[in-house]
Structure 1
């Protein structure tokens, strides 16, 4: 992890030096130049200090979050403006390296300023900038009674990060406005402790669906990322979290399935505990959850971590038609405009946001309702997913 961080910092330094060419072309004076480099030196000093303190055993999570936010504000606008300078340099090669264009440097600074405004929006209003994303999925073996059946999926509420009651309530109202038959929550109700959800229970209890509300646990729900006084206190925390799901009106599925019935027909809703790659706990047990189900039953699986789909679900001996996941948050940072979809998280997860299809099976990865780590969302907005099931003609 430290080596990867050092490589990232090195790339930031190269981009920063390059961007300074445009900065110094437009803005003159040693005072401004010293301020430019002074801010950078303070940030890098902070990073190396955190690395040292973390290795010494100190809890630096909150400080690290603030530092990451500062890095985004300072460096991302510069890095995204660098390609324009690179194109200019390619043109300068054929003109025997004349002085850098003041006009183009002004454009680059303007672009960096615009990106900075987007980042500020993401770190303030963007964290509650809820978006409804709709998908219509067709299946030849869907029971006829479920043709047109609507599912609202929420994921990654991370209640310990939420603070704006009015905006959160608007998000809940937006979810209810979809008038779905079923509401499903795919894990990470809290950051660490059940107590984080206590102030929000009555609000999320307002979610409504005639066919029920169901949920599963995410990696943060087990309390694995906080130091507990004892094993017993950690267990009590998890039990309290399970009670909160019930108080919110959700049926928590723990490696089990339940039949959703309509007009004499049914589909199977399956919920597994968290199962993740790369060091995450693998509590999920799909075999246990599907025990006793008929092979030809239409199945919807809730599994918090999308890596479970690749590593377990796809090659499972029973056909799972649709898997709903979350976990990645789309890294809360990326670009989703005009058909372009990119986030650094895609280098860690092949399926990180939206709809995926393979071997006749679907996976939908929700971008998350809340936020964690980075105290905002930039380009990857909080999501309310609405999936409509249709019966296709064979």
Structure 2
């Protein structure tokens, strides 16, 4: 009973801020020292509501990010009113590089509605395409793909027209696509979806293993011959069971360095 109470009432809301020094070899010099904050998998509607999200928004803004990444699953399947999150998401400030997002597998069933919500909250939503942040005549490209599980993702389209020397940061909800994305001219990938396993047993590991998040579950990895950095964020909310154990919800702060 005590473990269940702790997992449901305490750890689910005990947000961990992970600081990561992210080295990117071809990072343009002007972006050296910039700060990216990533959050993911809020799953609004599954034992988690707008009032719960308010503290996350406050934490992120207090981190003073230059860029904000949201890597999918704004809602839990069945949530028919994601629009209530717009005013809160509008409060997020990516001071120099804006706010960027992709959709997740739970978002897919109301895909257009979620895209409209994120657009209304001033996020740039990426679906097999890219855009860029420019500072002092140097560019940092942000690419994103459609949901891997249910959408029509195209890594090729997402980086079409870019050169090998361009610095490209990829948002992809499901992390295991990194085995493919590492073959493209992509400098680093940012993902969610796994929830870190959500319930982790010491000496055993994650209990819940999501499809497309079985190879890469939590934290930093270096993938493929090019050793592309991949970061898997444990997410904010939960799915299947409203519990977290030895797997706190995560907000990640990346300090970019070349």
Asked if TM exceeds 0.5, the reply is yes
Q: Where does residue 245 of structure 2 map in the other structure?
A: 378
Contact 1:128 1:168 in 2 (8 A): no
Aligned match for 2:108, one of 216, 222, 233: 222
Q: Partners in 1 of 2:46 and 2:86 — Cα distance? A: 15
Give the Cα–Cα distance (whole angstroms) in 2 for the partners of residues 380 and 150 of structure 1: 24
Q: 1:205 aligns with which of 90, 106, 116?
A: 90
Q: 1:176 to 1:341 in 2, by over 3 A?
A: farther
Paired residue for 1:365, among 221, 232, 251? 232
Q: Deviations over 1:147-174 (max 9, x none)?
A: 1011111111111125454442111111
- The equivalent residue for 1:331 is 197
Q: Distance in 2 between matches of 1:270 and 1:341?
A: 35
Give, in whole Å, the separation in 1 of the partners of 2:50 and 2:114. Answer: 21
Task: Work out whether 1:262 is the aligned partner of 2:125.
Answer: no
Deviation string for 1:127-147 (max 9, x for gaps)? 221111110012332111011
Which of these residues, 288, 309, 314, is aligned with residue 182 of structure 2?
314
Give the deviation of 1:242 after TM superposition: 1.4
- The Cα offsets for residues 278-303 of structure 1, whole Å up to 9 and x where unpaired, read as xx335210111111112210110000
Number of the residue aligned with 1:242: 115
CA contact (8 A) 1:194 1:238 kept: no
SS in 2 for 1:291: coil
Which 5+ residue runs of structure 1 have no aligned equivalent? 1-115, 224-236
Deviates more, 1:362-371 or 1:122-131: 122-131
Of the two, which has the highest radius of gyration?
1
Tell me how far 1:118 sits from its aligned partner.
3.4
CA gap of 1:192–1:345, structure 2 versus 1, over 3 A, is closer
Give the alignment's TM-score, normalised by structure 1.
Answer: 0.61
User: Alpha-carbon deviation of 1:190?
Assistant: 1.2
Q: 2:174 aligns with which of 279, 299, 305?
A: 305
Question: Mapping of 1:1-394 within 5 angstroms?
Answer: 116-163=1-48, 165-193=50-78, 195-210=80-95, 211-223=97-109, 237-275=110-148, 280-310=149-179, 312-316=180-184, 318=185, 320-335=186-201, 342-345=205-208, 349-358=214-223, 359-391=226-258
CA distance in 2, matches of 1:299, 1:345: 31
Deviates more, 1:146-155 or 1:165-174: 165-174
The structure, 1 or 2, with the larger RCO (C-alpha pairs under 8 Å, 6+ apart) is: 2
Q: State which drifts further: 289-298 or 196-205.
A: 196-205
Q: Does the Cα contact within 8 Å between 1:189 and 1:221 map onto a contact in 2?
A: yes
Runs in 1 of length 4+ with deviation above 6 angstroms?
Answer: none
| Number of positions where the alignment pairs a residue of Structure 1 with one of Structure 2 | 253
Question: 5+ residue gaps in structure 2?
Answer: none
- Partner Cα separation in structure 2 for residue 238 and residue 176 of structure 1: 27
Distance 2:133 2:79 in 1: 28
Q: CA deviation at 1:207?
A: 0.9
Compared with structure 1, are the counterparts of its residues 345 and 356 closer, same or farther at alpha carbon in structure 2 (3 Å cutoff)? farther
Could you tell me how far apart the structure 1 residues matched to 2:132 and 2:94 are?
A: 15
TM-score by length of 2: 0.91
